[in-house]
Structure 1
Amino acid sequence: MRWPADLTETPDLRGAYPRLSEPQIRALSLHGSRRPAHPGDVLFGEGDPCTCFFVVLAGKVATIKGYGLEDQVISVHGAGRFLGDLNVLTGQAGFLTAVVAEEGEVLAVPADELRRMVTGDPSLGDLVLHAYLVRRSRLIGLGAGFHIVGSRYSPDARRLREFASRNRLPHQWVDLERDKDVEHFLRRMGVTPQETPVVIWHGSTVLRNPTNAELAWAIGLSAPQRRRTECDLLVIGAGPAGLAAGVYGASEGMSTIVLDGVAAGGQAGTSSLIENYLGFPSGISGGELAERAVLQAGKFGARFRVPAEACALQAQVNDLAVTVKEGSVIHARSLVIATGVRYRRLDVPNLARLEPASVFYAATPFEADLCRQDPIVIVGGGNSAGQAALFLSGHAAWVGLVVHEDDLSVNMSRYLTAQIERHPRIQVMVSTEVRELAGQETLEAVVVEDRTTGRRSAMEARALFVFIGAEPCTGWLAGALALDPRGYILTGADAARSGMPGVPGAPGRPFPLETSRAGVFAAGDVRNGSIKRVASAVGEGTMAVRLAHDHLETGG
């Protein structure tokens, strides 16, 4: 490509492009090798697995989106700066191409060596991690990475978009309904509209309606697994409780695997802003909290599999066997179940027909982009509904909040109700229920009923967000563990009273978070009696690991 005459370094905005200190470069040099860098050299390419951490010692290096096609320069780095984004730490494929723009020299450090160094050097680790987190957010905003091409009305297109968004994978959405020119491009790629949605990766690779697992494998999020795997601790569910268990299990020296069927973060990962979590006075998004926790767990050696949905649990002579829907069996000496809950669906006319295109159960940037400048309705009176209303009000034209209770503060924290009540674009309707959804291909209006007067009215809406209580994700555990009538897992004394076979009978057993099966623990929202807060889930995940460790030390 042809470089502009004045190739200026990209400013270090929000700490995205800092310079390493001389002592840090010297320390890195002990683990890497110096290489000459000539103009046009490609240090790493889009779609390639990231094997090295590059530091620019002299000259300049540019990172390019769509190298060889659109050639969009994303950033330019001079001496002292380092390249890459989170893929260097996670092992994902790269989303940009790094090309030498000016004669110089680079330092190449194997990615595995960098991961070990950031674990032992907090100052280097904090610098690299912060820069990579900011860069990943910027790449998402720029639409770097792969393309998802399909119709906005396609359930599979929505599935792929949600999977990419929940896992914070940089991508660009191309809507066949709005961009007619894309059909010519698809024909050149040998793809018919009937074969969409498709994922186009680094310009030439085409995945025709891939499963989430196939997309994950293609970009290096999750590698194909062996049929049988063994570990000390298996954590099922990567919400706050599961992530905490992963961090503390791995840091205790236990070989640890964490599974999740969709993405790390759980219900908390769909929250735009968590304001009452200890240590974050200005709040933190659920996605960023999850991303940090995944990197922290990985730093200690925890292995993540996403997507990987557990579908059966069997206690064997010396271990616990968990069958994964995607086709493998994991044998673990101890198990923490942190599968959380899922929001209930409304029982109203036309839900099944309109749900694929217009009904949502999370409020992330993905959903916000879909309803930009549209009127929307949110159903629910808890904190999740309140956080969604505040976040989406910054994107939607108008937000109607439908609350079953007579007062907004019955189930919602006071700090949220205060913000909602004074927000000019949020209209709160208490003592109200949704009775019907109206529309053809997409939602056009929501019919609500005042529970006091019985009066019905229709509100214009292009999207409906539902946060009306939850049910535990324990269908796969029926008959394997003691559950309460609602499906939540019984632990401790409640599990002991269940009468299920296999209940630990030693003094002091079951442990407080132990289930009716020895060595199987439950933490977070999936457990009967849990508090349903991020902080308590993190605490339970940590405590479950301590108890699992005690279980293993005593031989079960």
Structure 2
Amino acid sequence: MPDLPVDPTDPWIRPAQTFPSLTDEMIERIRPYGTEQLVAEDTYVFRRGDHSIDFLLVLDGELQMFADDPIQGRHHLYSYKRGQFSGEQNMFTHRSILLSGLCLAGSRVIRVCHERFRALITGEPDIGETIIRSYILRRAGFVRHATGGGILIGHRESGDLLGVQRFLIRNLYPVTIMGVNDADAPSVMQRFGIGANDLPALITPDHGVLKQPSNEILADELGLFEPPEDDALYDVVVLGAGPAGLASAVYAASEGLKTLVIETMAPGGQAGTSSKIENYLGFPTGISGLALAGRAHIQAQKFGARLCVSRSAASLDCSNSPYAVGLSDGRSVSTKTVVVATGARYRKLDIPDYARFEGRGIQYAATAMEGQICSGQEVVIVGGGNSAGQAAVFLSRTARHVHMLVRSRISATMSDYLVQRIKSSPHITLCEGCEITELAGEHGLEAVTWIDRTSGETSRCNASNLFVMIGADPNTDWLDGCLELDRQGFVCTGLSSDDMTRHPYAASKPGIFAVGDVRAGSVKRVASAVGEGSVVVAAIHQYLAAAH
């Protein structure tokens, strides 16, 4: 029997990068940042659920890593030996850790306390690069192999289950999916007291059960939420963690500003759902939106920015300075400046029964998760922009066939490299001048009907997944008159006559700025959003200096 093909992107088969051994010279450079310790007896040096743990570098002996599975219990994953070090991405945050570490008797380690860890990363950049790369790969391995997380039970194609799964995956939390029709599901549901009306339900590693959880509950119970510091006055609060918001956070935090980021869903915004971005500078082979967002997220945290996931901005009191940002959970955050980077929300089709099929076949993103759902099936995509084109190319690898519908000519709204791939693919049928007229299905989407406005011909496809990618509307309803908006609701910028805030991205109130898709006149591209987010920090410094 032939060997199964090995996936070269799997972090577990890249030990030299995922679990590197530092040289003796590197070890000596780390010594001044910590203290050497001898472990006299087998000791758990950290346990799953701990926060703000220390960095451990093994000199002699062994540090064993264990994961807790809700059903199988605790099991050994791997061990660190001389020159290897503990940790993963949560070392840069105050989030709960996923694994437990048992240091064997007689082991010697260098312990760098959590408060000194960032000093090590920035003070020894070559060592920091090795550590950060390994941390990114380790977390990717946890997610890929569903290690250290929970078990999500529900109907596999249920919109509610997919919503929970999407939130967890985009926040890099490992999760195993168990369908209610799987062989083990009845006994597991009985063991944990889960009824049919409780689905979807997440069983946590400590045997807790979250029934029909909201994103806020998931973030709180799984340790994903990092609350703002009590009574803190921030230099800048960034509202939204898309490319523009993350860029603002990276540059602000790296330049010494006390920075907080508020994000409703997960780092990356709409760009985080792109299967592959191929025209982003510096990535000749392309990069997924999730990977790009993950790198930017850890970069911002490396410099000390704090990111609050699962909360949104509910209000902005701009009548007094410092400004008060009201959050969806009732908290209020004080800040000297604000960067509005809340982006836009997906537009919806105006056709009968549309709302009935949301979460039951209608999708707004094409990630690896959706690719698995659509494997071997007919798929319909509506939209003519780059997001729709990327989705069509990506889904054509696993779907039986992709039908792409656009209202006008595709070349007018999409990058040429995507146009050429779509037109040359035998797995994609392009229908220009077409519009959907009907959705059908009993419990979920089962068929899509559209009309060719040029010929009048009607087509029907038995598809259970419809990807709607027709643009977005600005997410500014919560501003409630605080800032000047244009007719479409985008934030107007560059209008201030105040010398302190005269800047292309300055909004109508001093010290408040807007960047990315939420800004009127912005170019809807990832690279331009990153540029705006980074450039605006210079204006923040200018405002703070003048105000001081």
One fold, TM greater than 0.5?
yes
- Superposition map of 1:31-50 within 5 A: 31-36=33-38, 41-49=43-51
Alignment pair present for 1:431 and 2:433: yes
Look up the match of 2:498.
506
CA distance in 2, matches of 1:444, 1:341: 29
Q: How does 1:4-403 map to 2 (within 5 A)?
A: 12-13=14-15, 15-36=17-38, 41-49=43-51, 51-66=53-68, 69=72, 73-99=76-102, 104-144=107-147, 145-152=149-156, 154-176=158-180, 178-225=181-228, 228-403=231-406
Partner of 1:468: 470
Moved more, 507-516 or 99-108: 99-108
Q: What is the distance in 2 between the residues matched to 1:333 and 1:24?
A: 41
**8 Å CA contact 1:151, 1:175 repeated in 2:** yes
What residue number does 2:444 align with? 442
Deviation at 1:408, TM superposition (A): 2.1
Partners of 2:226 and 2:309 within 8 A in 1: no
Note the residue ranges of structure 1 that are not aligned, 5 or more in a row. 1-9, 494-503
Amino acid paired to 1:532: K
CA distance in 1, matches of 2:372, 2:287: 20
| Deviation of 1:35 (Å) | 4.5
Report the Cα offset of residue 299 of structure 1: 2.0
Cα deviation, 1:353-402, whole Å, max 9, x if unaligned, reads 22112111111222222222222111111100011112222232222111
Cα distance in 1 for partners of 2:446, 2:106 equals 58
Give 3-state SS (helix, strand or coil) of 1:554's partner.
Answer: helix
Tell me the alpha carbon deviations over residues 236-286 of structure 1, each in whole angstroms, 9 at most, x when there is no partner: 111111111111112222211111111111111111211111122222221
The amino acid that maps onto 1:487 is: G
1:401-455 C-alpha deviation (Å, 9 max, x unpaired): 11111x3211110111122222232222211111111111122111111110111
Change (3 A) 1:57 1:506: closer
Partners of 2:228 and 2:260 within 8 A in 1: no
Cα distance in 1 for residues equivalent to 2:191 and 2:52: 30
Q: 1:291 to 1:547 in 2, by over 3 A?
A: same
SS at match of 1:30: helix
SS of the equivalent of 1:66 reads: strand
Q: What displacement does 1:65 show?
A: 3.4
Change beyond 3 A, Cα 1:260–1:18: same
1:80-126, Cα deviation, whole Å (9 max, x unpaired): 22233212223332223334579744433323322221122111111
Q: What letter corresponds to residue 538 of structure 1 in structure 2?
A: V
Superposition deviation, residue 202 in structure 1: 1.5
Output the CA distance in 1 between the equivalents of 2:259 and 2:515: 16
Secondary structure, in 3 states, of the residue corresponding to 1:295?
helix
Measure the CA separation in 1 of the matches of 2:425 and 2:48.
43
Deviation sequence 1:176-230 (CA, Å, 0-9, x none): 2x22532322322233332232222224222233321222122322234567542
Distance 1:368 1:35 in 2: 48
SS in 1 for 2:338: strand
Structure 1: which amino acid aligns with 2:364? Y
| Letter matched to residue 352 of structure 1 | A
After alignment, is 160-169 or 179-188 more displaced? Answer: 179-188
Quick check: 103-112 or 184-193, which moved more? 103-112
Q: Which of 478, 496, 518 is equivalent to 1:526?
A: 518
Distance 1:526 1:414, change over 3 A: same
1:459: how far off?
Answer: 1.1
What residue in structure 1 maps to residue 7 of structure 2?
A: none
Q: Choose which of 477, 489, 494 in structure 2 pairs with 1:487.
A: 489
2:424 is aligned with 1:422: yes
**Alignment size in residue pairs:** 535
Listed one character per residue, the Cα deviations across residues 142-199 of structure 1 (whole Å, up to 9, x for unaligned) are 11212222233554433321211221211112222x2253232232223333223222
* CA root-mean-square deviation: 2.4
2:534 is equivalent to residue 542 of structure 1? yes
Q: How far apart are the structure 2 equivalents of 1:103 and 1:273?
A: 48
Whole-angstrom CA distance in 2 between matches of 1:448 and 1:524: 33
Counterpart amino acid of residue 49 in structure 2: G
Which residue identity lines up with residue 429 of structure 1 in the other structure?
Answer: C
Cα distance in 2 between the residues matched to 1:459 and 1:105: 64
CA separation in 2, counterparts of 1:241 and 1:385?
21
Q: Output one character per residue of 1:293-335: Cα deviation in whole Å (capped at 9) or x when no partner.
A: 1222222221111122011111133221111112211121111
Deviation at 1:12, TM superposition (A): 3.9
Aligned equivalents of 1:161, 1:394: Cα separation in 2: 22
CA pair 199-49 structure 1, distance change in 2 beyond 3 A = farther
Report the CA distance between 1:73 and its aligned residue. 4.5
* Aligned mates of 1:52, 1:460 — CA distance in 2: 54
Give the gaps of 5 or more residues in structure 2. Answer: 1-11
Aligned in 2, Cα 1:39/1:350: closer, same or farther, shift over 3 Å? farther
